[in-house]
Amino acid sequence: MAGRLFAVVGPSGVGKDTLLAAVRDRHPLCHLVRRVITRAPDAGGEAFDAVTEAEFARLRAAGGFALHWRAHGLCYGIPSAIDEVLAEGRDVLFNGSRAVLGEAAARYPRLRVLHVTARPETLAWRLAGRGRESADEIAARLGRAGYALPSGLCITRIENDGALEQAVAAMLAALQPERV
């Protein structure tokens, strides 16, 4: 049986990468996507493949991405190699943009969405604490906090406003095999 594809989405600073790292430690059979991003290689945060805009365009033209999008002035790509991992029957998780969900569901009709949420003041506090972006960049990210998800998707909400362990437990529960 093919693996399941999970898009982990939610506003910047909500804890998507933190939750994905926790899942990696506790659910080794899941495949966590390493994204291709036009970001400086030493920016910190998640492990990713840093490329230039020209390299990104070449990869995209060569069919190297299952999904790609632009946000925060950066290009993000999900390598098309995920199709082989899914075909092997492994579940695949990626940190995605809410804006790419419609396209993702068109390409992967059985897409599951894990929507991570927290209060705006929590996001502001966490982004400032993380320190990867400037104050202006943080303000722009907070401006996207209320971006609505498209309707008609299979969405599980994961609240991450309090103790991380609670959100990790909710995430692991959402990854349990489904009964059919």
Ligand X SMILES: O=P(O)(O)OC[C@H]1O[C@H](OP(=O)(O)O)[C@H](O)[C@@H]1O
Ligand Y SMILES: Nc1ncnc2c1ncn2[C@@H]1O[C@H](COP(=O)(O)OP(=O)(O)OP(=O)(O)O)[C@@H](O)[C@H]1O
Question: Of residues 17, 103, 137, 159, which one binds ligand Y by CB under 6 A?
Answer: 17
Residue 86 and residue 161: Cα distance in Å, rounded? Answer: 31
Q: Is 38 a residue that touches ligand X (CB under 6 A)?
A: no
15 is in an annotated binding site: yes
> 84, 147, 157, 166: which one contacts ligand X (CB under 6 A)?
147
Q: Count interface residues toward ligand Y (CB under 6 A).
A: 14
Could you tell me which stretch among 50-58, 59-67, 93-101, 159-167 binds ligand X (CB under 6 A)? 93-101
**What is the closest distance, in whole angstroms, from the C-beta atom of residue 107 to ligand X in the complex?**
17
Residues near ligand X (CB under 6 A), total: 11
Out of ligand Y, ligand X, none, what residue 73 binds, judged by CB under 5 to 8 A for its kind, is: none
* 12 marked as part of a ligand binding site: yes
Binding site per annotation, positions: 10-17
Detail the residues annotated as belonging to a binding site for ATP: 10-17
Which residues here bind ligand X, judged by CB under 6 A?
9, 12, 71-72, 76, 95, 97-99, 144, 147
